[in-house]
Amino acid sequence: GVRGAVVRVTEPVLAEITIEETQVTAGGGTLLSRLVTEAARAGLGGVEHLVGIPGTVGGAVVGNSGGRQGDIGQLVQSIRVLDQDGKVAVRRGDELSFAYRRSGIQDLLVLSVTLQLQRDDSEELTRRMRKNWIMKRSTQPLADQSAGCIFRNPRGLSAGALIEQSGLKNAAVGKARVSERHANFIVTEPGAVATDVEQLIERIRTTVAQKYSIDLDLEIRVW
């Protein structure tokens, strides 16, 4: 378990999406997949390449989710956050120190995010979104239960390739296993517990470090 209070952002007010011109504001609890779909429907481009990434908008901003076509942090105009003292503040995007799978948002609850998008053809956006989805589905375990990529890519290298070349595809601990489709994903079956995933992560890190002298850095956050 977690020693402390866990706040799950599920209230409808924290999952609303509003659109004003080319700016989209989404509650921190909004599913990222819904934001991508709503933006495409409204003819606003910039987030269609984020299709297939699990989780919420708030989580995506904290971890600066993205891919080859860019990261969400590049689009952030501002965020509203709640700190541990219960105070609400607004932070500008240029204050958030976005970097590869990182941000300057620490120990804050993301209430809402405002993104600056651009006008585009809705049908063309939908086409690109579907193309991205098909490409990701062919290489990632999107139909399985996972938290997305587990490790950040070391500079100039692929974490998934390092794990695969270490012979760890399909390696398992309990009900958690390394995806056969993409080795940087850990997928779980019913009955999996957090310790299954944690022990598998440690096994992966140890094996890769022994074989390549590379320490894999977590992309996910473990409490």
Q: For 40-63, what is the mean pLDDT?
A: 96
187-195, Cβ contacts within 8 angstroms, sequence gap of 24 or more: 187/141, 187/144, 187/145, 187/146, 188/144, 188/145, 188/146, 189/145, 192/145
Q: Which residue has the tokens 């974490």?
A: 159
- First-residue to last-residue Cα distance in the chain: 9
pLDDT tens digits along 70-103: 999 999 999 999 998 999 999 999 999 999 999 9
Predicted confidence at residue 1, as pLDDT, reads 64
Residue 83 belongs to domain with CATH number: 3.30.465.10
Please check whether residue 220 lies inside any domain of the structure.
Answer: no
Please check whether residue 5 lies inside any domain of the structure.
Answer: no
How many domains would you assign to the chain? 2
Please check whether residue 6 lies inside any domain of the structure.
Answer: no
Q: For 3-30, what is the mean pLDDT?
A: 90
Please check whether residue 222 lies inside any domain of the structure.
Answer: no
pTM (2 decimals)? 0.84
> What is the residue range of 94's domain?
12-137
Looking at the predicted structure, is the pLDDT value of residue 7 above 90? no
Answer yes or no: do 132 and 157 share one domain. no
Q: What percent of the chain has pLDDT over 70?
A: 100
Q: Which two tokens stand for residue 140?
A: 């990632």
Q: What residue type is 51 in one-letter code?
A: V
Half-sphere exposure for 7 (CA within 13 Å, toward CB): 16
Please check whether residue 185 lies inside any domain of the structure.
Answer: yes
Predicted confidence at residue 4, as pLDDT, reads 79
Q: For 131-150, what is the mean pLDDT?
A: 93
Query: What are the angstrom distances between the C-alpha of 2 and each of 28, 118, 222?
Result: 21, 41, 10
Please check whether residue 123 lies inside any domain of the structure.
Answer: yes
**206: helix, strand or coil:** helix
